[in-house]
Structure 1
Amino acid sequence: MKILHVVNSLDPGGMENGVVNLARGLESRGFETHVACLERRGVFSGRLPASSKVLLLGKSGGFSPGAAWRLARAITQLRPDVIHSHNLGPLIYSGLATAGGRRCPWLQGEHSQLTAEERLPRRLRQRRWLYRGCHTIHTVSTAMREELVACGFPAQKIVAIANGVDTGRFAPGGRIAARAALGVPPDALCIGIVGRFGPFKRHRQLIEAFEQIVPRLPRARLLIAGGGGSEEAAVHQRVQASSFRPLIHLAGFQNEPRACYQAMDLLVVPSINEGLSNAALEAMACGVPALVRSGCGHEQIITHGHDGWIAGLDSSADLAGSLAEILAEPIRLVDFGRNARKKVTSHFSLESMITSYEHLYRASAPR
């Protein structure tokens, strides 16, 4: 069975990581996966199976009729059984290239909450029109599905398939070695953030919160791992300007981020726009609990006060208050981390996610 994913790129990110994991996991189940990138290839393309083709559609700037035409030609040449587009841009181009889903069964994946712009009436009308051609729209959390249904989109077409994590690859262990490699002291209270430097991730608010708690918690360290995104330069400049610069560790993009999680005591996810945080799942699989902002699908993966913490986190002061309270009793971090690992292995495995998509693809393809 042949699947063609349509994405903006395979630059590092949660959705992109999911596409690669899905391609690798489905290969042994008789699936052939190809990826059409609207804008650029991206480093995650190197993790795709050897049989996968990556097609570059050459989109730049605003709307590109040429990219839609090239996608339509790729569909003619590859003859996929299913088109799987991800987020708004690929939804638009896939709708054009498939003539509204008439040329090929078409699935749409939504991986983050709708932004304020996407909630404008004209944007909602655009999505509603495009969704008509989709066999199924899937979200990565039940909260996102409820959001789309509340916006008036067809409930019978929308399913939730939770993100999954490879609990063999992401597992506890090696804390001392991981900290040594990253320059984090072995006795530190290490909080961390992992991900692309996007405008919704709120790295700068976390840095401000960290600066507020350091005077009370001198063993605290902040580990920032990730690369890319429009805010990267601004975040790095903010770190360099901090009076606590020696206590902040910039790890950069990590092709294998497991060691970053293993070095942490606590992951922080202050993002205001998520579907279902892959970073939180990966940290939990490594036995590291997370402090997350309420909403963003987090209630589906974290039980507050048992395997992590959910709070408002609307300001840097909110973040600082939550961090100070959690780190004041560091013994809880170990127990919560153990509970987090159990939660992920039992409910959010990568195998379970892959099986769900396999069923969705087989149900969508013509018999």
Structure 2
Amino acid sequence: MRSKTNKLSVLHMVSSLLIGGAERFVLDLCQQQRSDGIKTQIFSFGRKDDPLVSECDALNLNVIFNRGHKFFALARIHRILRNVDVIHIHSPHVLKFIAPILPLIGQRKIIYTRHGAAPLENPSWQVLHKYCEKYIHTITFVSEESQQIFSTHHGWHNKRKWVIDNAVLLPEISGAKQVNPDRLSLGSVGRMIDIKNQINLLKALVKLSPEVREKISVHFFGDGPCLEQLKQFKDENLPEANIVFHGVINQRDQIYSTFDVLVVTSETEGLSLAIIEAMASQCAVIATDVGGNPRLVSHENTGWLFDYNDSNSLAKIIETCINDRKTVSEYANRSKAMIEENFSLKNCANKYKQLYLN
């Protein structure tokens, strides 16, 4: 049922408001949709002190939090869902929680977006997705690889599937980015979990000579279960290296202005929002040749690609960056131009609006 204001109303459902690519994307999408005349809200299954909650407050984005015993929580969610036009689910964990009430919410359109490429091949996920298929109107993916993996493991062959690229609100940047010619600053942005494999960046630094390492600073942004492992590796193998663990930082301009080159070491990626944000902020990118990364990073044009877990190749690329700062700057400028041309949030929001209305 269309809201009384006759505005299309959309509820975006996320597992948390921790800092991650999917969560960042939802905030950006809500802002764009609001400017396009759509009424948006966010329903979070996370905590009220999650880092992005304060950003939602600053942006005047309405956030509803899950609360109470599961039975009463589901009853409350049921009431909320029946008062919106579109339910946009951004996490399989959200889908799992609300699965019992899917048959009860009436003719609401449900969009399910898979932001990652992980196969979710555990039998419990197989059963869940088989059950939920008939209630989902459309499933979207952020990369062709994500769609192919999902189709292989879960089927849904008669379900409408769309690949819609992630996008970002483009930052305002005037003039060329200032770089320090005497020091190369590398950045790593994201949750510190096994699949992100940030330790491979530290292993690559070990392979460089002390004289080369003196010309490098490394900035880690994020938190997660692998943080202590990274710190311990640094203390044991790179005690003199200039490596900074910044923790969780909300302001993207503060993150991407800190370094010249983003390094992505992940085992798999959908369409990395960190890469899109870095390129939009005029950074070159070094990334693993996996998932959607090659769609974003053109090897030796906007950055460099290397094989997953290949610290030798990563070390050679880093040394190349140190020795040829002009090329790094050229790649950074091309990166920004490519994102402006191909990953406009306005275009992304229009594609979702078509799905909401059709």
**Fold match, TM over 0.5?**
yes
Where does residue 3 of structure 2 map in the other structure?
Answer: none
In structure 2, the CA distance between the partners of 1:361 and 1:8, relative to structure 1 (3 Å rule), is: same
Equivalent residue for 1:162, pick from 160, 165, 178: 165
User: What is the alpha-carbon distance in structure 1 between the residues aligned to residue 252 and residue 240 of structure 2?
Assistant: 22
Matches within 5 A, 1:92-131: 92-99=96-103, 102-115=106-119, 118-131=120-133
Q: How many residues align?
A: 348
Structure 1: distance between partners of 2:172 and 2:336: 13
Contact 2:222 2:246 in 1 (8 A): no
Equivalence for 1:57: 66
**Alpha carbons of 1:156 and 1:209: their partners in 2 closer, same or farther (altered >3 Å)?**
same
Name the CA distance, whole Å, in 2 between partners of 1:10 and 1:311. Answer: 31
One-letter identity of the residue aligned with 1:154: H
Q: Pick from 240, 247, 251: which aligns with 1:252?
A: 247
Counterpart position of 1:34: 41
Displacement after TM superposition at 1:109 (Å): 0.8
> In the alignment, which residue of structure 2 is the partner of 1:323?
318
Residues 131 and 137 of structure 1 are in contact (CA less than 8 Å); yes or no, is this contact kept in structure 2? no
1:143 corresponds in structure 2 to: 145
After TM superposition, give the deviation of residue 187 of structure 1 in Å. Answer: 1.9
Contact 1:189–1:219 (CA under 8 A) maintained in structure 2: no
Q: Specify the SS of the correspondent of 2:67.
A: coil
Q: Give CA deviations for 1:101-128 in whole Å, capped at 9, x if unaligned.
A: 645211101010124xx12455334313
Q: Are 1:72 and 2:67 counterparts?
A: no
Quote the Cα distance in structure 1 between the aligned partners of 2:61 and 2:170. 25
Flag the 1:244–1:102 CA change in 2: closer, same or farther, 3 A. Answer: same
Contact residue 165 and residue 282 of structure 1 kept, 8 A: yes
The percentage of aligned residue pairs carrying the same residue is 23
Aligned counterpart in structure 2 of residue 336 of structure 1, from 309, 331, 334: 331
Segment drifting more, 314-323 vs 283-292:
314-323
Q: Can you list the C-alpha shifts for 1:43-82, whole angstroms capped at 9, x where unaligned?
A: 212333766432221389xxx4554333223324xx0101
State which of 269, 280, 286 in structure 1 corresponds to 2:281: 286
Q: Which of 39, 47, 55 in structure 2 is aligned with 1:47?
A: 55
Of residues 33-42 and 265-274 in structure 1, the stretch that sits farther from structure 2 once superposed is: 33-42
1:209 has 2:211 as partner: no
Q: Distance in 2 between matches of 1:246 and 1:218?
A: 7
Name 1:228's counterpart in structure 2.
223
CA distance 1:327–1:36, change in 2 (3 Å):
same
**Contact 2:271–2:291 (Cα < 8 Å) also in 1:** yes
The 4+ residue runs of structure 1 with deviation greater than 6 A are none
1:354 to 2:349 alignment? yes
Aligned residue for 2:78, secondary structure, equals: helix
SS at match of 1:213: coil
- Residue 298 of structure 1 pairs with residue 293 of structure 2: yes
Deviations 1:188-231 (A, max 9, x none): 01221112222221122211212222436244324333233222
Which whole-Å CA distance do the structure 1 matches of 2:339 and 2:275 have between them?
A: 10
Tell me which moved more, 41-50 or 8-17.
41-50
TM-score by length of structure 2 reads 0.87
The answer on 1:81 being equivalent to 2:119 is no
- CA deviation after TM superposition for structure 1 residue 16, in Å: 0.5
- Paired residue type of 1:111: H
Corresponding residue for residue 32 of structure 2: 25
Partner in structure 2 of residue 5 of structure 1? 12
What is the CA-CA distance between 1:268 and the residue it aligns to?
Answer: 0.7
* Structure 1 residue 265: Cα displacement: 2.6
1:305 and 1:67 mapped to 2: Cα distance?
51
Aligned partner of 1:238 among 233, 237, 256: 233
Corresponding residue to 2:186 among 191, 208, 217: 191
Mark the CA change 1:92 to 1:325 in structure 2 (over 3 Å): closer, same or farther.
Answer: same
Residue type of the alignment partner of 1:335: E
Distance across 1 between alignment mates of 2:145 and 2:51: 30
- Once the two structures are TM-superposed, the CA of residue 297 in structure 1 deviates from its matched residue by 0.8
Q: State the match for 2:23 in structure 1.
A: 16
**CA distance 1:5–1:250, shift in 2 (3 Å):** same
Q: For the Cα contact (< 8 Å) 2:279–2:332, is it kept in 1?
A: yes
SS at match of 1:309: strand
What is the alpha-carbon distance in structure 2 between the residues aligned to residue 131 and residue 309 of structure 1?
39
C-alpha contact (below 8 Å) 1:39/1:58 kept by paired residues = no
Q: Distance in 2 between matches of 1:53 and 1:244?
A: 45
Give 1:29 shift: 1.7
Alpha-carbon distance between aligned partners in 1 of 2:175 and 2:86, rounded to the nearest angstrom: 37
Q: 1:172 to 1:164 in 2, by over 3 A?
A: farther
Stretches of structure 1 that go unaligned for 5 or more consecutive residues are: 177-184
Structure 2 unaligned regions, length at least 5 = 1-7
| Alpha-carbon distance between aligned partners in 1 of 2:357 and 2:60, rounded to the nearest angstrom | 20
Q: Give the RMSD, CA atoms, in angstroms.
A: 2.6
